[in-house]
């Protein structure tokens, strides 16, 4: 096993572990906002890492075989990773804002400045 | 080497099924939206890995289009929930 | 006109990246280059007012936008790893103390607010919930409010980030 294959497996394992933690958090946390902590951070990080594992694997295969199909695959996967990192954060803002406007209050909260500001 | 990719796709599919528990339980519409958003992210990750397993670049293009379309759909659901539509 | 040209260049470069490896002129075929040129013209004509909404072309300066990858790979990535370990700890132990607090940033530009909101969402135990359009203050949900922080009306942005001073980086890039 070369170093790039070991690194690929490592990235894939990190991605799957953090995706699993995100989904466990989605099932276990008590209210919407804490669930969003688990899903936005952990699943974005995990999915970006599984995608980066694909990029690394294609770079390794390109170095081994110099078949240009692999470098195309790697570039497209890198663009997917970028798109994931941007769109997940923005859609989580949108859901959090809409939930607060539709009357979902944070449970067990010690303070809620947004409620006091009345926006 | 291919085997570990197949196991990863299987794990992602199990995680998607677990998300559906939260999708059914709710309790509010916003919780369900969060669950759908998570399912979308995991589906994109699974599509990219499947593109590598079958050596098809078109699968990854489909994942890219799916990412952007699911982003737009989530924004519209959020607008609707916030009463701004 | 400048906004049209910038949007055209951005769309055309993205199209060329996505179709790399299709032919022999460089790595592109002639039909892909012609199709990309026409599509980029059409896309730029439609969307030029969305990309450059504020009529502000500071970000066209390479010294600014080339700092963004440095920012993402360097300080931002360290904070993301720390945030994910923190979330993993809280998922497994359920040791939480949530609350919505108010953050004052002092940033004025749209891109600066966007980068700060995204950085807050992806880093330390916080997600952005809403923004005050007049004062540009952010309301964020913190999963573990520090002792005594619930009594303070406004909190400075750099107190959120323990390892790297991300707001200073964002100010250098976008302001």
Nearest to A23 among B19, B31, B82 (CB): B19
DSSP per-residue codes, C91-136: HHH---B-EEEEEE----SHHHHHHHHHHHHHSTTEEEEEE-TTT-
What dihedral do alpha carbons C21, C23, C27, C29 form, nearest 10°? -110
ipTM reported for the complex, 2 dp: 0.85
Contact call for C17 and A75, based on CB within 8 A:
yes
Nearest to A80 among B8, B18, B64 (CB): B64
Nearest to C84 among A18, A71, A90 (CB): A18
Cβ within 8 Å of residue C36, ≥6 positions away:
C12, C15, C16, C19
**What are the chain B neighbours of A92 within 8 Å (beta carbons)?**
37
**How many residue pairs from chains A and C have C-beta atoms closer than 8 A?**
130
Nearest to B68 among A83, A88, A92 (CB): A83
| Residue of A41, A91, A112 best to disrupt the C interface, most CBs of C under 10 A | A41
DSSP per-residue codes, A42-82: IIHHHHHHHHHHHHHHHHHHHHHH--HHHHHHHHHHHHHHH
What dihedral do alpha carbons B26, B35, B23, B16 form, nearest 10°? -150
Q: List chain C pLDDT tens, one digit each, 175 residues.
A: 777 888 888 888 888 888 877 777 777 788 888 888 899 889 888 887 777 766 666 666 777 777 778 877 878 888 888 888 888 888 888 777 777 778 777 777 777 788 888 888 877 678 888 887 777 777 888 777 777 666 676 777 666 666 667 777 777 777 7
Among chain A residues, CA nearest to C82: A41
- Measure in Å the smallest separation between the Cα of A70 and chain C Cα atoms: 10
- Domain ranges in chain A are 3-104
Residue A51 contacts C where some CB pair is shorter than 8 Å: no
Contact call for A100 and C129, based on CB within 8 A:
yes
Cα distance between residue A60 and residue A71, in whole Å = 10
Give the confidence band of B23 by pLDDT, cuts at 50, 70, 90.
confident
Inter-axis angle of helices A3-28 and A44-65, nearest 10? 160
**What are the chain B neighbours of A102 within 8 Å (beta carbons)?**
28-30, 81-83
Give the confidence band of A113 by pLDDT, cuts at 50, 70, 90.
low
- Domain ranges in chain C are 2-53, 63-174
- Measure in Å the smallest separation between the Cα of A1 and chain C Cα atoms: 27
């Amino acid at each position: 096993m070369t170093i790039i294959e070991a690194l690929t497996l490592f990235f894939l394992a990190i991605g799957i572990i953090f995706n699993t933690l995100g989904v466990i958090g989605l099932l276990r946390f008590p209210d919407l906002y804490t669930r969003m902590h688990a899903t936005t951070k952990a699943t974005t990080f995990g999915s970006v890492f599984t995608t980066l594992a694909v990029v690394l694997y294609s770079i390794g295969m390109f170095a081994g075989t110099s078949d240009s199909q692999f470098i195309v695959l790697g570039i497209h996967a890198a663009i997917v990773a970028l798109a994931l990192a941007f769109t997940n954060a923005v859609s989580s803002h949108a859901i959090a804002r809409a939930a607060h406007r539709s009357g979902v209050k944070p449970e067990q909260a010690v303070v809620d400045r947004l409620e006091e500001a009345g926006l | 080497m291919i085997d570990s990719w197949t196991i990863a796709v299987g794990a992602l599919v199990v995680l998607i099924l677990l998300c559906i528990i939260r999708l059914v339980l709710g309790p509010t519409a916003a919780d369900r939206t969060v669950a759908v958003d998570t399912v979308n992210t995991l589906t994109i990750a699974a599509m990219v890995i499947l593109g590598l397993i079958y050596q098809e670049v078109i699968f990854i293009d489909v994942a890219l289009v799916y990412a952007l379309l699911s982003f737009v759909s989530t924004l519209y659901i959020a607008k609707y929930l916030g009463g701004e539509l | 006109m400048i906004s049209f040209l910038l949007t055209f260049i951005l769309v055309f470069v993205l199209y060329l990246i996505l179709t790399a490896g299709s032919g022999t002129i460089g790595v592109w075929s002639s039909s892909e280059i012609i199709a990309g040129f026409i599509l980029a013209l059409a896309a730029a004509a439609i969307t030029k007012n969305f990309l450059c909404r504020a009529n502000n072309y500071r970000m066209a300066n390479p010294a600014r936008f080339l700092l963004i990858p440095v920012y993402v790979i360097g300080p931002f990535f360290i904070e993301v790893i720390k945030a994910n370990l923190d979330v993993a700890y809280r998922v497994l132990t359920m040791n939480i103390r949530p609350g919505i607090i108010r953050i004052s940033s002092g940033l004025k530009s749209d891109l600066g607010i966007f980068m700060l909101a995204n950085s807050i969402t992806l880093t330390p135990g916080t997600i952005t919930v809403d923004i005050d359009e007049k004062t540009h203050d952010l309301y964020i949900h913190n999963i573990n409010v520090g002792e005594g922080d619930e009594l303070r009306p406004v909190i400075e942005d750099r107190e959120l980030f323990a390892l790297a001073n991300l707001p200073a980086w964002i100010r250098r890039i976008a302001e």
